[in-house]
A = this chain, B = another copy of it.
Amino acid sequence: MPRRVFVVAAGSSRFGERWEAGQAELAKEAWQDAGFRGKIDSLFVSSMASGAFTEQEHLGPLVLSAIGSGSVPSVRLEAACASGGAAVRQAFLSVRSGEHDVVAVVGLEKMTDVPPDEASRILSQASLAEDEARTGATFPALYALMARRHMHEFGTTEEQLAAVSAKNHSNACLNDKAHFRRTVSVDDVMRSPPVSDPLKVLDCSPVSDGAAAIIIAEEGVARGLSENPAEILACEQASGPLGLCARTTICGIPAAASAAKLALEKSGAKLSGIDLAEVHDCFTIAEIMALEDVGFFPRGGAAKATERGETALSGSVPVNPSGGLKAKGHPVGATGVSQFAECFLQLSGRAGKRQVKGARTALTHNVGGSGATAVIGILSGEVGRK
């Protein structure tokens, strides 16, 4: 019988342009924010491209020293922008299996020490290099193809995409770790410069520095470490072809739909019982596809629902209360871990001004590249039940 696994602490560095902090400092900041002082049995680090961004690979031992955790096993996981989710999944499995009792996951990326065009080049290595990156198809271009097709199939409008950005900026104003703490209106988004038509600057998540940390433990240990741990009911992952050209659809991400289906089955949770979701809005269209892939709305329904406010903090399914990748920021290796950290805060009633009232069940949705990797987590807390 697999053991039950709980998040017992979580923290985050401030996200943004952190020119004064290196990777070790960012990791330490997230670790201290988590406030965990116990021993860990193993460390999982997630980063997409620390070698290219900072000339430093082999982050496991570097982060282990930064958080002062001795000589336990440490390893880095990479699955492009889903590195964080993939690392949480391995950590989850290592505890569930009985191999470890307490493990830490630290996700990080230090992206702003290189010029923006170099950051774009590095990020494009998460797509199919031979057929996509080398032909000039950067990520905004790949997601623009998806957006254009989604608009063609379902009548999705640019204003509806802009509504995603406006909502997430609004949420980020309530998050003191967020990269952007200012509101933008739908008009602001519509008037922002084009990046890859129909996506504009304010449809895109930023290049950010940042780190996030969670500590997870098996049930018995967890109850001793935290008053309000949040259980990870499931953490499922699926893969798809690396190149967009080989997918069966570009109006959604099949790997995300598969992983969500599995996670819902394994967790026993129902979509109608999910109180909030942290989803991978690297571009506004990505949030729309995420909500449809997971099944919150039928195909073609998420954009309209967003426009109606259903995914706002006060809506029926609050999405990205943290501000999401769009406004909290997207230090790629940190993102998936940060989603779990936000869910932990929400489920333990510690999310402050952005607290989703009565939150008992939360979902995370983390995507790598244009969708070749997807990780879905489902968490449950007890505070919201009280």
- Least CB distance from A4 to B in Å reads 14
Q: Which residue of B lies closest to A86 (CB)?
A: B75
How many identical subunits does the complex contain?
Answer: 2
A58 pairs with B90, CB closer than 8 A: no
In the complex, A99→B93 CA distance in Å?
A: 7
Stretch of A143-151, A158-166, A315-323, A367-375 with 4 or more beta carbons under 8 angstroms from chain B: A367-375
Determine which of B93, B130, B240 lies in contact with A61 in the assembled complex, contact meaning CB atoms within 8 Å.
Answer: B240
In the complex, A65→B242 CA distance in Å?
A: 8
Determine which of B48, B51, B96 lies in contact with A97 in the assembled complex, contact meaning CB atoms within 8 Å.
Answer: B96
Interface size for A (C-beta < 8 A) is 62
Which has the most chain B C-beta neighbours within 10 Å: A75, A368, A369? Answer: A75
Determine which of B61, B73, B126, B258 lies in contact with A71 in the assembled complex, contact meaning CB atoms within 8 Å.
Answer: B258
Q: Which residue of B lies closest to A64 (CB)?
A: B239
Q: Which of A75-134 contact B (CB under 8 A)?
A: 75-80, 86, 89-90, 93-94, 96-99, 122, 125-130, 133-134
- Least CB distance from A3 to B in Å reads 10
Residues of B within 8 A of A51 (CB): 49, 51-52, 122, 125
Determine which of B2, B74, B373 lies in contact with A58 in the assembled complex, contact meaning CB atoms within 8 Å.
Answer: B373
Give me 10 other A-B pairs in contact (C-beta within 8 A), A55-B125, A71-B254 excluded: A51-B122, A55-B134, A56-B128, A57-B80, A58-B369, A59-B78, A70-B239, A78-B78, A93-B97, A97-B98
